[in-house]
């Protein structure tokens, strides 16, 4: 099994701003932890330098007018344009935002190329997964929607794609891009949109036209823990895998679902996250794995390092490499690679909500998916 990890130091020429919750530095922390565990010297692993996406590649989804605004914003010609979602707050204008977007999108396209060409079974872009951007607007820290570009790479060559999003925020930009397209099955586990941005992802969002049934949403109550998440995951994803029989999986692996993430209210840990990664690895299908949310940098580095190890069939020791202890334990607390087990005090309520979701999907959504 060949795997590929996409990365470049050029990411760190760009910065959303000191007060912004999305810290690009978390990518370096992930890379350094993987390197400290010696995960880039495995015989069937490639560490590949990221290339920027070309303007023509980005125009496969985004509009020319929007691309022009991004380029002008990146060069300092405009400080905001709220008609395109740019300005103070979630989507600030900063020097090089176009170039940053080209890099993370280019890495996702590289992943798709490696997988479709048979050069890797699994390709991982930790900088990707910016799933909120629309064709002509920025949203939720996202300027270019790299998951959509990665999916189009496969759909354009006739492949059926299962897009699986486990970020705390609904994968709205990807869902809407393929809402009428039965070639792409979008599946999103997320905190209920009534309690969190972007406010979408309800059970009744099932697709439209030929795509009816090909959008699947599992809105989880705040305080949902590993047990409830996994109960939902194992009841939904294997069924969809069998019904839809995708040629390739594209996943968004956000870890803002974790207990101590500062922006969300779910209560997952590395334990539930790793079960999902292990399941996807065991499928043996071509897989493009993308990063996503996560606003506690230690959580990001530990979870994505665990994911990369699982993708490569490795069980890592729980003690952190000594060189990484200080950077992963900024407040001096004892830190392990994996989180301890956690049970939410609201588990019963969350389980009842999950069962309601599963009952709805079984009755209203699963029957609409054509088995191949």
Q: Number of folded domains in the chain?
A: 1
Q: Grade residue 290 by pLDDT with cuts at 50, 70 and 90.
A: very high
Choose, from 62, 104, 132, 153, the residue flagged as catalytic.
132
Q: Is 86 a domain residue?
A: no
Q: Is 148 a domain residue?
A: yes
Contacts of 146 (CB under 8 A, 6+ apart): 53, 104, 105, 107, 108, 109, 125, 128, 129, 130, 290
Q: Is 68 a domain residue?
A: no
Output the CA–CA distances (angstroms, integers) from residue 58 to 39, 63, 135, 136, 169, in the order listed: 31, 9, 10, 11, 23
The residue-averaged pLDDT of 154-161 equals: 98
The residue-averaged pLDDT of 277-296 equals: 98
Q: Is 61 a domain residue?
A: no
Neighbours of 92 (CB within 10 A): 20
Residues of the domain holding 299: 3-53+98-368
Distance CA 308, CA 300 (A): 12
- Is the pTM higher than 0.95? The answer reads yes
Our measurement of the distance from residue 353's CA atom to the centroid of its chain's CA atoms, rounded to an integer in Å, reads: 24
Q: Is 80 a domain residue?
A: no
The residue-averaged pLDDT of 306-314 equals: 98
Instruction: Render pLDDT for 202-223 as a digit per residue (tens, 0 to 9).
Output: 999 999 999 999 999 999 999 9
Output the CA–CA distances (angstroms, integers) from residue 163 to 57, 198, 250, 349, 358, in the order listed: 20, 18, 5, 28, 19
Asked about 153 being catalytic, the answer comes back as no
Domain with 244 in it: what CATH number? 3.40.800.20
């Amino acid at each position: 099994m060949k795997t590929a990890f996409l990365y470049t130091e050029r990411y760190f020429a760009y910065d959303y701003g000191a007060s912004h919750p999305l810290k690009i530095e978390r990518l370096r922390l992930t890379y350094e932890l993987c390197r400290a565990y010696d995960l880039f010297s495995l015989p069937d692993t490639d560490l590949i330098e990221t290339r920027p996406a070309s303007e023509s590649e980005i125009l496969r989804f985004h509009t020319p007018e929007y691309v022009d605004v991004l380029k002008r914003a990146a060069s300092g010609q405009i400080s905001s344009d709220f008609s395109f979602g740019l300005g103070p707050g979630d989507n600030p204008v900063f020097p090089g935002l176009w170039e940053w977007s080209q890099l993370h999108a280019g890495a996702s396209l590289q992943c798709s190329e490696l997988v479709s060409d048979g050069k890797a079974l699994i390709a991982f872009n930790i900088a990707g997964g910016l799933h909120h951007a629309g064709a002509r607007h920025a949203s939720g820290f996202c300027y270019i929607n790299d998951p959509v570009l990665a999916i189009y790479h496969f759909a354009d060559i006739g492949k059926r794609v299962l897009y699986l999003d486990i970020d705390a925020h609904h994968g709205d930009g990807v869902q809407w891009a393929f809402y009428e397209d039965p070639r792409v099955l979008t599946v999103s586990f997320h905190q209920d949109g009534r309690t969190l941005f972007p406010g979408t992802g309800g059970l009744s969002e099932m697709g439209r036209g030929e795509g009816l049934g090909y959008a699947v949403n599992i809105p989880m109550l705040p305080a949902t823990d590993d047990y409830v998440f996994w109960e939902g995951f194992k009841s939904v994803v294997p069924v969809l895998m069998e019904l839809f029989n995708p040629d390739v999986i594209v996943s968004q692996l956000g870890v803002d679902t974790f207990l101590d993430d500062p922006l969300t209210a779910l209560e997952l840990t590395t334990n539930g996250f790793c079960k999902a990664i292990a399941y996807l690895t065991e499928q043996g299908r071509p897989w493009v794995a993308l990063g996503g949310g996560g606003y506690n940098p230690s959580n990001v580095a530990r979870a994505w390092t665990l994911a990369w190890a699982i993708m490569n069939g490795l069980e890592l020791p729980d003690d952190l490499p000594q060189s990484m202890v200080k950077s992963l334990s900024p407040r001096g607390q004892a830190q392990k690679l994996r989180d301890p087990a956690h049970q939410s005090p609201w588990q019963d309520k969350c389980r009842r909500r999950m069962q309601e979701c599963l009952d709805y999907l079984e009755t209203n959504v699963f029957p609409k998916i054509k088995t191949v």
